[in-house]
Amino acid sequence: MTSSRAPNRGARYTLYSFKIRFEAVVTVARDEEGSLVVDVHTPPSIRPLPGRLPHADPLIQRFESWARGRLSEGFSLDHAAQALSTSKRTLSRRMRSVLGKSPLAFVQDLRIERAIHLLRTSRASVDQIAAEVGYVNGVTLRALLRRRVGRCVREIRRSL
């Protein structure tokens, strides 16, 4: 483990785990009662860029690129496996082992992520955004946003 002092922010550590590099700023302080308080967060300069996930599995990377290019289309595990020259079973097992979710759940996450981005950066209607990310109508998108993000469209648009 290496460390270097960050001014007024605590210590910066580089940790290695499962061959994935993770950096965080750790701030240690004492509160009024004398208890230790530890704050660990990832600075914005270290967070992954939106649209790219930090995974090293080539099949998952290819699936992510394939899925991002087809968000507006319906999802089919058969088509995905065929496009990636693998079996449905291999793709599903690899997704579960690397990301802990099914290919469909991953695609839904990508759709929600894209919808949130469009809600924050465009003036398109909810129905237009829903169509662009692959949902039949805005009602479905609104329900998913409430269920998965816990916020309604108005709150997401205001949270620039």
d(CA 132, CA 101) in angstroms, rounded, equals: 23
Ordered by start, the domain boundaries in the chain are: 2-41, 58-103, 107-158
Sign of CA dihedral 32, 33, 35, 41: negative
Residue 57 confidence class, pLDDT cut points 50, 70, 90? confident
CA atoms within 13 Å, Cβ hemisphere of 52: 6
Residue 77 backbone dihedrals phi, psi, to 5 degrees:
-60, -35
State mean pLDDT over 78-95. Answer: 96
Compute the mean pLDDT over every residue in the chain, rounded to the nearest whole number.
78
In this prediction, residue 12 has a pLDDT band, given cuts at 50, 70 and 90, of very low
Q: What is the CA radius of gyration of the chain?
A: 20
Does 13 have pLDDT greater than 90? no
Residues 88-137 have pLDDT tens digits of 999 999 999 999 999 999 999 999 999 999 999 999 999 999 999 999 99
What is the SS3 string spanning the chain?
CEEEEECCCEEEEEEEECCEEEEEEEEEEECCCCCEEEEEECCCCCCCCCCCCCCCCHHHHHHHHHHHCCCCCCCCHHHHHHHCCCCHHHHHHHHHHHHCCCHHHHHHHHHHHHHHHHHHHCCCCHHHHHHHCCCCCHHHHHHHHHHHCCCCHHHHHHCC
Q: How confident is the model at residue 158 (pLDDT cuts 50, 70, 90)?
A: confident
- CATH number attached to the domain at 107-158: 1.10.10.60
What average pLDDT does this structure show over 30-48?
Answer: 57
Residue 36 has pLDDT above 50, yes or no: yes
* The pairing of beta strand 36-41 with beta strand 20-30: antiparallel
> Is the Cβ–Cβ distance between 110 and 103 less than 8 Å?
no
